[in-house]
Structure 1
C-alpha cells in the first residue's frame, strides 16, 4: 500500500483567496505571463519555482552554455517573493549570537558574509541591468523597551566589531527623526541595507533571464518527478520535461512533490497591509528607511515610491482555528499596531491587504542539499529570504556546474524533522510561538 501522503491544497493551506489585494499586483494586468508547457520539452537544467531562489539560480546559469528551463505553478513571484515587505536586510532569522554559540564564531562569520553577499548581488543586478524597482538605501532595527535598547546597543557593537559591518546605534531624538514617531526609543541604523518593490524587481529580472535564453513555463505545476541520475522526467498537467538536473526552489509552496522535504519545515503565515498614498508623506518615516522591530514578534514597515505605507507582521495560529478567520483577526491587529505607532494614521484608509506562507525550520536557518543525484534543493529561509535566496541561487548554480559542492556550507546546520507532512504545522507553530512569547516576556 505504501504511505498515503496528505493532499496539498494551496488555497486552503494559505487561507487566501481571490479577494486578496496585493499592493505589488496593482499593475499586474499590464504584465504578460509566459505560456504553460504543452507537450514534451527537453533541457539540461529544470528549475522548479520562479521566486527569488529560482530566478537567482537561473541568473547565475544564464551564461553556462546549458539549456535552462524554469517552471512555475502560477506566475513568477506568486509566492513569498512577490508578497513580502521588500526589505533587504543583512543576517538571518536566527540570531547571530545563537549561531556563534551553537556553531562557533568562524561559521557565524561565514553565514554573515553569505547574507551580506546576497545584498551585494541584488544591488549588482539592479545596477548592471538598470532595474526599475524603486530601490532606496537605508534600514533600521527598532526597539521600544529598555531591554530592547540594551540588546540593540550590544547588537550594533558585536556586528561592527565581529563582522566588520557598517552599523550605528541610535537613541532618543535621532530615532524619532528617522521614523517620524516617538513610539520607539532606540535603533540601529544600517546604511548599506535598503528596500524596494519586490514584484517590480521580479518582473524585470524575469525579462532579463528570458532575453538571456532562459525558457519559462508559467501556470505549469510540477506534479511528479521520476527517473534517476541524469535522466529525470517531470510530469506537468499538459506535458513532460526531460532533464539531467533539477533545482527545487518552491520553498513553502513546493508541497508534496518530494515528501521527505515537506518534513524539513513548517508553514508560518505573514500578513501585509498598505494605505493609499499618504497626504503628509514627509512626516511618516522622513528618512525613507526600511523599518523592522528587533523583537520575536515584530512589525515591519516602509514607504513605497508613491508614498503609501506598507505595514506587515506574522500570525500566531492556534490549532482548530481556520486560517481565514485568523487572517482577518491579524489584519485588524496590524491596523491597530499601525495606528499605535503612527497616531496620525488612525483614520487612514487601508487600500490593500494580503499575505502568504513561508517555510520555517527548527533552527531558523535554511535546508540545502541534494535530495537525489543531481536534484538540488533549498528551502526554509524562515522569513529572511530576499538577499539570502539570491546568494543561495549562486551557491546552487555553482554546485550544479561542479565548481564546488557549495551546499555543503550548510551541512553544520541542524534542523529537526517535523512529522505529519504538514498536518501538524499549526500545532507546532502555536507551541513554538508560545515558547518564544514566554522567552520574550521573562528572559529576553
Structure 2
C-alpha cells in the first residue's frame, strides 16, 4: 500500500452521499518505479481531468498522478451546481483590469458548463445532469444586485438569465423566504463525483493513464524536464501541470501561500419521496442565495435534499455539521424540521484574495491553475481546457489570465485566517441588515 500524505488518510472517499451513490470505478494502481510521459498532471480533480482530456484528444501522452482517488477533493464533494461565471463579477473585472479584459472574461464565463455538457454527451457519462440554476434574493438589496447582474451580462450579449418576482420565485422554490431571484437557463446541476469518475473513464478511453494513491512528495521543476517524486516512484515529463488546488499542500510553497483553504459543508436528507420533493423544489433547479456566506441546495436523483453552506477559513471541519446547517435549512423549508439526515460532510476549496483564479507557469515547462474561490465546477473545466490549449501551443487565452496580478492575503500566512474571518462577519452583518 502506498504511503499517504496526511490530507488524504488512506485515500478512500469521505463518507458523503456522493461516495455512497457513486458509479462503479476501478481501483487504479499507484505509480511503481521510474516512468516517463509527455505530460504529467498532478491531481485527478476537474482541473486535472479537463486538462488531461483536452491534451489526450489532441494526441498527447498524458499521465495523471492522484494522491488519493479520482475526485477525492472538492471535485467529488461539492454542491454539484453548474453556476456560470467566476467568483469575481464581470463588474470587478472591468474595474480592475479594464473593458477589454472584462469583455474577454464575459466570452468564456459560460464555457465551463458547455464543456461539462459536451463531455457528458460525448463520453456518455451517467451523472444525473439537469438544467437550470436559481439565484435567490432575501431582501431588496439582493434583488438590486441581481438586477444589475442581469443588465451587465446582457450588455455582453449573454441572455440566458431571467429576473423572477416574488410570486414567480415561489412557483419554482417552495419557500416564503425570498423576495425574488434570477433563473439561469444555461446553468444546471449533476452528481459531481460521478462526473469526475466518468471523465476519468473518458481519459483512459483516449489512452491516458491515472495512478491513484500516488501523492507528490517532491517536485523538481528547475530542469528542462520536470520530475515528480512519489512514495514508490518518479515521473519525469516534458510538461508538468499542477492541479492540486486546495490540496496541493506545501509541495510547491510558491503556490500554496497564494491561496487559503476554506471548508464548506453539505448534508443530505433521507429520500423525501416525489410529493414532498415537488413541494420543496417544483422546478427541480439548483438554488443558491446571494449572501456573502450563502446557502445552496438541490434535489438528488433519489429525491433527497442536498443542502450546503457555511465557511471555515483555514479549511477545518466543524465538529457538528448537522447543527451548523440545520437552522438555515429549516429557515428555507420549515417542513424539514424533523427530517432525518443520512449524510453530512465537509470539503475544502482554495480561496484567492481577489476571487480571481490563478493561472500561470513556473519556469518554461510547469503550468498551474488554482484559486477558484468556490466557483470551481465551471471554472476548473474552463481552465483545464485553457491549460491544454497553452501546452499545445496556443497561449492566447492562457496569457490573459496569467498576466492578471495575484494579491497576497493581508497579514500573510499567519494572519490571513483571522483577517478573512473578521471580514466575513462584516459582510454577514450587512446581509442581515439588508445594506
TM-score computed with the length of structure 2 as normaliser: 0.92
1:119 and 2:113 equivalent?
yes
1:256 and 2:247 equivalent?
no
Contact 1:315 1:330 (8 Å CA) reproduced: no
How far is the alpha carbon of 1:29 from its aligned partner?
Answer: 8.7
How far is the alpha carbon of 1:182 from its aligned partner?
Answer: 1.3
2:134 is matched with 140
Structure 2 CA distance for aligned equivalents of residues 244 and 353 of structure 1: 42
1:174 is matched with 168
Given candidates 7, 27, 42, the residue that maps to 1:10 is 7
2:75 is matched with 81
- In the TM superposition, what whole-angstrom CA distance separates every residue of 1:79-109 from its partner, at most 9, and x where no partner exists? 1011000000111111222222222233222
Aligned to 1:54, the other structure's residue is in SS state helix
Aligned to 2:44, the other structure's residue is in SS state coil
Contact 1:363 1:414 (8 Å CA) reproduced: no
User: Where in structure 2 are there 5+ consecutive unaligned residues?
Assistant: none
Bigger Cα displacement from structure 2, 401-410 vs 34-43: 401-410
2:380 is matched with 389
Given candidates 400, 403, 406, the residue that maps to 1:409 is 400
2:277 is matched with 281
Structure 1 CA distance for aligned equivalents of residues 77 and 52 of structure 2: 21
Structure 1 CA distance for aligned equivalents of residues 25 and 13 of structure 2: 20
Matches within 5 A, 1:299-310: 299-310=295-306
Task: Call closer, same or farther: CA 1:423–1:49 in 2, change over 3 Å.
Answer: farther
1:213 is matched with 207
Structure 1 CA distance for aligned equivalents of residues 351 and 140 of structure 2: 29
Contact 1:396 1:406 (8 Å CA) reproduced: no
How far is the alpha carbon of 1:323 from its aligned partner?
Answer: 3.4
Contact 2:264 2:348 (8 Å CA) reproduced: yes
Contact 2:221 2:365 (8 Å CA) reproduced: no
Aligned to 1:37, the other structure's residue is in SS state coil
Matches within 5 A, 1:285-364: 285-317=281-313, 323-324=316-317, 327-364=318-355
Task: Call closer, same or farther: CA 1:19–1:91 in 2, change over 3 Å.
Answer: closer
Task: Call closer, same or farther: CA 1:28–1:286 in 2, change over 3 Å.
Answer: closer
Contact 2:262 2:349 (8 Å CA) reproduced: yes
1:370 and 2:367 equivalent?
no
1:3 is matched with none
Contact 2:101 2:400 (8 Å CA) reproduced: no
Structure 1 CA distance for aligned equivalents of residues 308 and 138 of structure 2: 17
How far is the alpha carbon of 1:350 from its aligned partner?
Answer: 0.6
Structure 1 CA distance for aligned equivalents of residues 12 and 66 of structure 2: 19
How far is the alpha carbon of 1:176 from its aligned partner?
Answer: 0.7
Contact 2:13 2:19 (8 Å CA) reproduced: no
2:225 is matched with 231
- In the TM superposition, what whole-angstrom CA distance separates every residue of 1:344-373 from its partner, at most 9, and x where no partner exists? 111110111011111101110111100122
Bigger Cα displacement from structure 2, 421-430 vs 60-69: 421-430
- In the TM superposition, what whole-angstrom CA distance separates every residue of 1:321-354 from its partner, at most 9, and x where no partner exists? x934xx1355413111111110111111011101
How far is the alpha carbon of 1:170 from its aligned partner?
Answer: 0.6
Bigger Cα displacement from structure 2, 413-422 vs 206-215: 413-422
1:95 is matched with 89
Aligned to 1:100, the other structure's residue is in SS state helix
Task: Call closer, same or farther: CA 1:417–1:283 in 2, change over 3 Å.
Answer: same
1:426 and 2:423 equivalent?
no
Task: Call closer, same or farther: CA 1:438–1:97 in 2, change over 3 Å.
Answer: farther
TM-score computed with the length of structure 1 as normaliser: 0.91
- In the TM superposition, what whole-angstrom CA distance separates every residue of 1:194-251 from its partner, at most 9, and x where no partner exists? 0000111111111111111001100000111125343222110001111111000000
Aligned to 1:47, the other structure's residue is in SS state strand
